[in-house]
A and B are shown apart, each in its own frame.
Chain A
Amino acid sequence: MKTFAFFVLYMLLAVVVILLAVLLGADGAWYFAWLVGTAMIVLIAAAGAAMLDAQEEQAAGRVAGKPEPRT
């Protein structure tokens, strides 16, 4: 149920983002948007991988009984 609620929430978020982009950028400078957007997508994907490393290191630390790092 919780997953479904989040799924609906994320889908709504995607729809809002698309609507905003559509309304703001009917005749947009799309080449420029591609340059910026591609760099952003690549970097976010890269950040996602780094985040997974951190999550696994944290989980491994918990399994080994180490105290979790303070944030």
Chain B
Amino acid sequence: MINGTVVDLSRTQFAATALYHYLFVPLTLGLSFLLAAMETVYVTTGKPIYKDMARFWGKLFMINFALGVATGLTMEFQFGTNWSFYSSFVGDIFGAPLAIEGLMAFFMESTFVGLMVFGWDRLSRGQHLAVTWLVALGSNLSALWILIANSFMQDPSGAAFNPVTMRMELTSFQELIFNSDAQSKFVHTSIAGYVTAAIFVAGVSAWYMLRNRHMELAKRSFRMAALYGVLATVGVITLGDALGFVAAHAQPTKLAAMEGQWKSEPAPMPFNLIAFPDQARQENHYAIQVPALLSLLVTHSLDGTVPGIDALQRRAALRVENGIPAVEALKVLSKDPANAAALAGFNAHRQDLGYGFLAQRYEADPGKATAGEIAQAARDSIPPVASVFWAFRLMVGLGLLMLAFFVLALLYTLPNVVHRKTWFLKVAVWMIPVPFLANEFGWLTAELGRQPWTVYGVLPTWMSASTHSVAYMAFSLIGFVALYTAFISVEMYLMMRAVRQGPEENWRIES
């Protein structure tokens, strides 16, 4: 049995690494296409201001890209070092998209990034534009493969457990790539990056306009960011709904936690706008509800329902009982893979193997699990409701705030009067942290909502970690947090310095 503290520290370390890394990624995803847009205008109109814009924002892109790569590499190593059982159990499936990401998307992105930075005076306009588009495509393809791997953890499609090799094996690459969670999550995440970049560009441009500096660049950057951002925000909200719709089918416990839905209710179900979920009592305090909205949001009809946590927990208890014989059969098969009776027993209960593992946390021989232990295992199948509920609401709230910001930004930039709206320019500067926070809350909703599983319904988190010592994990966690805090500080220093300097005067002379 793996020490519970080691599991918690492993989770904290991965969460910290991912949350740090995820401060860099969305800006890279979005800024790359915004650079492509600016350079497209430069190539089509021939106006040097757009080249200045592409070079200036490209410099900020590069600072962010370099530090994003530095924080991302360690995450892939952590699968092997801190999650060795997980890697062994699902490595055959999970490793494929990660390898493709490294070999195809990341190599492509990294190669063309070099050409993008150093190629201004060496490539023709058309060639450089192609390179910039390829950087944008490569960055987003990189995210695609990572999110396909992540979606397998949320909705393990296209794979089956092999009781002889004791590993999950890929059965359909197509299902892995095209599962609904992967599709909606990739688009949601990618265009959330566009929104992040749009707010960042709008905020920095607003800062210039407030100081009456680089007005030509700032007004054009702001206009492009406002249009890019408003469309992307509408897309993010739409895809967020699609993701919720998918979760209602693939991850009902996550959806119930997001909505604080303790009890199953008849249609049309009300939506908890605000509530304070109490996990111990399984109820909400001070709930403010909107009638019928939940049915409409998650089933797209007024007569649709989704199960509450009470029903999901009862269902989990049955699955734990059904999964225990699968775990017992697996123990026999581990010693005697040719045992036909054990194989037949395993196949009869294999769909609930993961739930059998939940019981094993309390009883090494799950066949001896008491009714109380089975009930506890069923309770474990529910994620931490208050955290998921509030992370989700904060993400949505910030998303709606950004939509309102972009609508107002359009109202001011389309008639070209935004530079006179001092109050709005100040707001735009203060908006810069908002998308970063929204992205983090989104990530927390997705990953906390997946608990108690590393692979939903298949492999519990408690048995996925490596058998490190507590001291080793605590030491490495402190090291990572210190290092990444330093990275963030360096990024912010370099970004602020580059912004204060503004576009370099010699760029046009060079060209």
* Chain A residues at the B interface, C-beta cutoff of 8 Å: 3, 6-7, 10-11, 14, 17-18, 21-23, 25-31, 33-34, 37-38, 40-53, 55-56, 59
**What are the nearest 10 A-B pairs in CB distance?**
A30-B183, A45-B228, A21-B238, A48-B227, A45-B224, A42-B37, A10-B407, A45-B37, A34-B187, A30-B187
**Known A25-B238, A26-B300, A30-B183: A52·B416 in contact at CB below 8 Å:** yes
**Is the Cβ of A31 less than 8 Å from the Cβ of B224?**
no
CB-nearest residue of chain B relative to A22? B241
Neighbouring A residues of B45 by C-beta, 8 Å: 50, 53
Q: Is B93 in contact with chain A by the CB < 8 A criterion?
A: no
Known A21-B238, A48-B223; contact A37-B191, beta-carbon cutoff 8 A: yes
Q: How far is the CA of A46 from the CA of B42 in the complex (A)?
A: 9
The stretch of B229-237, B428-436, B444-452 in contact with A is B229-237
Identity of the chain A residue whose Cβ is nearest the Cβ of B50 in the assembled complex: A49
Contact indicator A45/B186 (Cβ below 8 Å): no
Tell me if A42 and B36 are in contact (CB < 8 A): yes
Given contacts A10-B407, A38-B33, A44-B231, contact A52 B219 (CB under 8 A): yes
- Please give the distance in Å from A28's CB to the nearest CB on chain B: 7
How far, in Å, is A40 (CB) from chain B's closest CB?
7
Which of chain B's residues have a CB closer than 8 A to the CB of A41? 33, 191, 194, 227-228, 231-232, 235
Q: Using a Cβ cutoff of 8 Å, how many contacts connect chains A and B? A: 125
Apart from A7-B411, A22-B242, A27-B180, what are 16 other A-B pairs with CB-CB below 8 Å? A11-B403, A11-B407, A14-B403, A14-B407, A21-B234, A22-B241, A30-B184, A38-B191, A38-B194, A41-B191, A42-B40, A46-B40, A48-B227, A49-B37, A49-B41, A51-B223
Number of interface residues of B (CB under 8 A): 51
Interface string of B396-431 (1 = CB under 8 A from A): 000000011001101101001000000000000000
Residues in B with CB closer than 8 Å to A33 are 187
Interface string of B27-55 (1 = CB under 8 A from A): 00000011011101100110100100000
- How many Å lie between the Cα of A28 and that of B188 in the bound state? 13
Residue among A11, A27, A43, A55 making CB contact with B416, cutoff 8 Å = A55
- Within 8 Å by CB of B234, from A18, A43, A47, lies A18
- B186-228 contact mask (Cβ, 8 Å, vs A): 1 or 0: 1100110010000000000000000000000001100111111
Contact B186 A34 (CB under 8 A): yes
Complex interface: chain B residues within 8 A of A28 (CB):
183, 242
A25 partner residues in chain B, CB cutoff 8 A: 238, 242
Give the distance in Å from the alpha carbon of A33 to the alpha carbon of B113 in the complex: 26
Instruction: Check B242–A26 contact: CB distance below 8 A.
Output: yes
Within 8 Å CB of A6, what residues of B? 411
**Chain B residues, CB < 8 A from A29:** 183
The chain A residue sitting closest to B225, CB to CB, is: A45
C-alpha spacing A29/B178, complex, angstroms: 9
Question: Is the Cβ of A3 less than 8 Å from the Cβ of B411?
Answer: yes
Check B416 against A49 for contact (C-beta < 8 Å). Answer: no
B317 at the interface (CB under 8 A from A): no
Contact A31 B187 (CB under 8 A): yes
> Of A10, A18, A38, A51, which contacts B411 at CB under 8 A?
A10
Residue in A22, A29, A55 whose Cβ sees the most chain B Cβ within 10 Å? A22
Given contacts A11-B404, A56-B416, contact A31 B186 (CB under 8 A): yes
Sample (16) of A-B pairs whose CB atoms are under 8 Å apart = A7-B408, A10-B410, A23-B300, A26-B245, A27-B245, A33-B187, A41-B33, A41-B227, A44-B227, A44-B228, A45-B37, A48-B413, A50-B41, A52-B219, A52-B413, A56-B416
Q: Which residues of A contact B223 (CB under 8 A)?
A: 48-49, 51-52
A56 contacts across to B, CB distance below 8 A: 416
Q: Are A49 and B186 in contact (CB under 8 A)?
A: no
B409 to chain A, nearest CB (A): 11
**For A18, A45, A48, which residue has the most chain B Cβ atoms within 10 angstroms?**
A45
Bound-complex Cα distance A67 to B263 (A): 70
Say whether B239 faces chain A, with CB atoms less than 8 Å apart: yes
* Shortest distance between the CB of A51 and any CB in chain B (Å): 8
Q: Provide the residues of chain B in CB contact with A46, threshold 8 Å.
A: 37-38, 40-41, 44, 224
A29 to B33, CA, bound (A): 21
B198 to chain A, nearest CB (A): 9
Q: Is the CB of A22 within 8 A of B238?
A: yes
Partner of B186, one of A11, A30, A47, A53: A30
Q: Are A49 and B220 in contact (CB under 8 A)?
A: yes
Task: Kindly state the separation between the CA atoms of A45 and B409 in the bound complex, as whole angstroms.
Answer: 13
Identity of the chain A residue whose Cβ is nearest the Cβ of B224 in the assembled complex: A45
CB distance from A52 to the nearest CB of B (A): 5
A30/B228 contact (C-beta < 8 A), A18-B237, A53-B47 known: no
Report the bound CA distance from A3 to B183 in whole Å. 38
A9 to B187, CA, bound (A): 27
CB distance from A2 to the nearest CB of B (A): 10
**Cross-chain contact A37 with B235 (CB below 8 angstroms):** yes
Distance A6 CA – B411 CA, assembled complex (angstroms)? 8
